Structure 1
């Protein structure tokens, strides 16, 4: 990856956490911006449900794009992808303990009360860049 994490975060306003994470690797994976943005559009806010963090999903997508295979009989690609995703998940959990958006932010983004707290405290701006940056860094270490 040629860009630094701060540059990626600064130049990606309007993108969700998954889009920012995958976009960091798109050029290296020969994936155009339009495809990247479309395929990751539904992963923001923990799959819109406060579930798996978009940055974590983006890392898993990136690892799959790098090591996965379109050949369903390619057992080595399956094994390697699973191994790399597992390693990423272990490392992310080591740093943040959890992978769910609700738990990372401390509020449920699917409720009006949770959204209000997240907005009033500016948690997306305060916390999410760290999660995205860590997901990018950990993915870069793995791939």
Structure 2
């Protein structure tokens, strides 16, 4: 089963978007399933505020865990982390025209060529589309490294 499917399966079990994205990468980020689910627990529904989409938050966490901070290069580490977070958010916003959970929930999305994983999986659930796309973007960014 690929990561997009794994992430959507976590969501179908009741986990939030952030938890679902994190847990789908547990084999490469060095955290256990329980650690992923615990770490992402408070970030669903835009951390309960309707702000940044939890799928995006989980995706940023994955990228950060795969790009550890360097205590000897604090400024460089921050620049790398912020740069990759901005790139991920740019790609996500290009597909959905929003990053805020509350804004995204106001829209109706149908998977298309801009969301190939969601389209291939035949997803119709709003958050499932966001989750699969966030995972897909992380995988694309990692492949570009």
* TM-score relative to the length of structure 1: 0.78
Q: Indicate yes or no: 2:35 matched with 1:32.
A: no
Kindly report the root-mean-square deviation, in angstroms, between the aligned alpha carbons of the 2 structures.
2.0
Cα distance in 1 for partners of 2:135, 2:72 equals: 27
Give the secondary structure class of the aligned counterpart of 2:40. Answer: helix
The equivalent of 1:81 in structure 2 is 81
The equivalent of 2:133 in structure 1 is 134
Deviations 1:69-108 (Å, cap 9, x if unpaired)?
162744333222222111101100100111111100118x
The equivalent of 1:21 in structure 2 is 21
The equivalent of 1:115 in structure 2 is none
- 1:11 shift after superposition: 4.7
Query: Which structure would you say has the larger Rg?
Result: 1
In the alignment, structure 1 segments of 5+ residues that lack a partner are 108-124
Pairing 1:53-72 to 2, within 5 Å after superposition: 53-69=53-69, 71=71
In the alignment, structure 2 segments of 5+ residues that lack a partner are 108-123
Q: Is the 8 A contact 1:55 1:135 kept in 2?
A: yes
- 1:16 shift after superposition: 0.4
